[in-house]
Structure 1
């Protein structure tokens, strides 16, 4: 008795451990989980993330430009012989050749500290900061696009599963009708005829074909979601919500106002204008002198050269020097700088034109999405009523046959009407979901969904 209980406990333990391991290998996602995964791991986002890092590197470069720039150089090589007797007590003019019989070493240093650049350094910094925000907005724009694609795949999967349920329901009804018709034909009951039987079997074959296609489409959608979520090679389960009518109380005017604040494109335009204006200022700064502080020095020594302590005589291979100066640098290029300024101004104007396009185009896009949502909502309500009536028709036809007062062809017509209206009802609900998703994206209300958790 104890051994039986012990074996039972072992069996339960093994089943429990197996189920835990199986659950750990499988990743379960709903719509929210799919969106959270794709905004973090979608393979297409990698390139856009690197653009952000590029501008961060440019910002680091711009921030470092205000600090001293130090240049050190060390040299070494063969040294020509030079003795002070060649110039003291008088300069000899009969030295016809030199002898290379030594080596020299030299260390040079230059420290350049910008003092005033007429806005060049601050312009580069502002442009880099704007570039970061522009590239981040581009990343947000891409996330918004893949969120919409994720919703499209998710609700397509929900639609397919609803259609499978419908197909199985119709399949059961047809099987019952075919069986009943075949039995009536064997009994030679007058309402039954072979034409109705052929019609029912034709419908039955079409339903089975649709079920096969549904299985194929479901597998393709799940594979696409697996790729987008960065889960290639892993087992996933997508939990779908049933398609239901959704009330919407959004007002177009409010959506348009929010879109101008929340849309990534508008953020790109605002930050892009700031960055381009800064680059114009950078190019204009080249018309003015760049003022700097410079410290320059060198230390050199050679094995075969005498050191001359005379400020009028400088030996670069065997001498030392240190100087600190205040300098000014101005480039005069006879029109090149003005051309670059004009180019920067044109780039700025291009963004201004994009701004005009966005300000005129976004309201149109929102109104289009809003009108489509209104149409989809009305169609969903209308098809709900038609579907309910078709369902009553089917139930009545089925009941009439059970009571012996109906005909099989009436049931076949009811099944066809029920299937058609239910399919159109589900499509209308799907269209409403996608119209709402399009409106949310167009107005920028997917901002919370774009944020990486």
Structure 2
């Protein structure tokens, strides 16, 4: 019992001390997609642009709140001692002295404050807020597009890795068989037993050279695809990442009809939602620019205060001294801020942008169903192609095995073996490539529909 407890503590300490990066992480396609959606900085960038657009909406809505305009400065004013002349006699104890600078200069502190609340803006705030909300919806569409691109990139890397790995394993098997045949022919030529010809060796060596090229390319693509998957999932290129699938297999053929897919695309594609939001925003901007022709009705409080320390205050309601006074009053007013030649031009600009979006919407209504149709036809074509190639690859394998058996029995020549091996290698490689293309075509089709599948 004591030994078991000691061993358990040792294993726990080893698990804690063992670096996490040294353990292999195995993921399937769905897990890789979720990891990438959480880690992809492109998606996070688009999400931050949504937050930026939301801040613009808050800014537009805040225009309906209280505004403060304040100006405080310190300057110079003429110094004045004494009061005002009344009836030919000075008031106060010291007569006022006139001149360029009576009594010299004084510091002057001035403060003007206006606290304003808009009452009615003829729709400016409402229309600009609607435009800002439309901008948010457009940015949200960008996030959906970025997420769809990320999923597509993950599938491309995942299927690409499976294709290259299966091709590499297959080519290594064929190469092993080919090397055995080369060894047998070389032995027969060395023994000069008449079972092989020199041309047989050349044929096998030529096939091995071509096979080596494809094998090197498969290894490179396997490494590149796995590194790409590591980057997309955010685990880092130094991590030990493995995929759960034992081999590449074609995904199920979608059962949706073309008409159903096209109908869903016109409803679900983020580009369609973006167009609708963009048109809504543009219509609001046109209305907002038109409302710029009208004033803003407001209420508030306006005050001013001026103080000059070396300037006597005039206690006379009929005389205003701009350097030494104070006042505060509630106000109701109307304010125009319009450039007569500019506003119509801005309205025309926004109207033109709206019309451009209308034409873009018309193109999308025709173009998106075409995209779905093209992707759908490609799916159907590669689905049939991979089935035919699967049958062809199976037949080529039987041909290769038969040719190798005949050669081993001394009933065939090596050039027939080389031809059979080459045919099998090319057919199987084309099959794997077509399965990869078919799987990606399915992904592209759902991408065209606007669905993450």
TM-score normalised by the chain length of structure 2: 0.88
Which consecutive residues of structure 2, in runs of 5 or more, have no partner in the other structure?
Answer: 91-95
| Aligned pairs, number | 441
Q: Structure 1 stretch 209-218 or stretch 404-413: which is displaced more?
A: 404-413
Deviation digits for residues 379-435 of structure 1 (CA, Å, limit 9, x no counterpart)? 011111111111222233334445554544433332222112111111221111111
1:267 aligns with 2:273: yes
Task: Answer yes or no: is the 8 Å Cα contact 1:397–1:410 preserved in 2.
Answer: yes
Task: Answer yes or no: is the 8 Å Cα contact 2:227–2:237 preserved in 1.
Answer: no
Structure 2 residue aligned with 1:96: 99
State the Cα distance separating 1:177 from its structure 2 match: 1.3
Q: Structure 1 stretch 263-272 or stretch 133-142: which is displaced more?
A: 133-142
Distance change >3 Å, CA 304–CA 22, structure 1 → 2:
closer
- Please give the alpha-carbon distance, in whole angstroms, between the structure 2 residues aligned to 1:180 and 1:381: 36
Which of 362, 365, 368 in structure 2 is aligned with 1:359?
A: 365
Structure 1 residue aligned with 2:325: 319
Alignment of 1:44-123 (within 5 A): 44-45=42-43, 47-88=45-86, 95-97=98-100, 98-123=102-127
Distance change >3 Å, CA 164–CA 240, structure 1 → 2:
farther
Task: Answer yes or no: is the 8 Å Cα contact 1:79–1:102 preserved in 2.
Answer: yes
Structure 1 residue aligned with 2:445: 439
Distance change >3 Å, CA 30–CA 397, structure 1 → 2:
same
Structure 1 residue aligned with 2:228: 224
- Please give the alpha-carbon distance, in whole angstroms, between the structure 2 residues aligned to 1:364 and 1:189: 66
Structure 1 residue aligned with 2:93: none
* Secondary structure, aligned partner of 2:113: strand
1:149 aligns with 2:159: no
Structure 2 residue aligned with 1:380: 386
- Please give the alpha-carbon distance, in whole angstroms, between the structure 1 residues aligned to 2:66 and 2:16: 65
* Secondary structure, aligned partner of 1:85: coil
Alignment of 1:25-36 (within 5 A): 28-36=26-34
Deviation digits for residues 64-95 of structure 1 (CA, Å, limit 9, x no counterpart)? 11101012333334442224523445698971
Q: Structure 1 stretch 403-412 or stretch 387-396: which is displaced more?
A: 403-412
- Please give the alpha-carbon distance, in whole angstroms, between the structure 2 residues aligned to 1:413 and 1:91: 130
State the Cα distance separating 1:102 from its structure 2 match: 3.7
State the Cα distance separating 1:132 from its structure 2 match: 1.2
Distance change >3 Å, CA 427–CA 19, structure 1 → 2:
farther
- Please give the alpha-carbon distance, in whole angstroms, between the structure 1 residues aligned to 2:62 and 2:220: 57
State the Cα distance separating 1:127 from its structure 2 match: 1.1
Structure 2 residue aligned with 1:244: 249
* Secondary structure, aligned partner of 1:287: coil
Which of 132, 138, 160 in structure 2 is aligned with 1:134?
A: 138
Distance change >3 Å, CA 88–CA 426, structure 1 → 2:
same
State the Cα distance separating 1:26 from its structure 2 match: 5.6
1:394 aligns with 2:394: no
- Please give the alpha-carbon distance, in whole angstroms, between the structure 2 residues aligned to 1:181 and 1:434: 43
Aligned residues: CA RMSD: 2.9
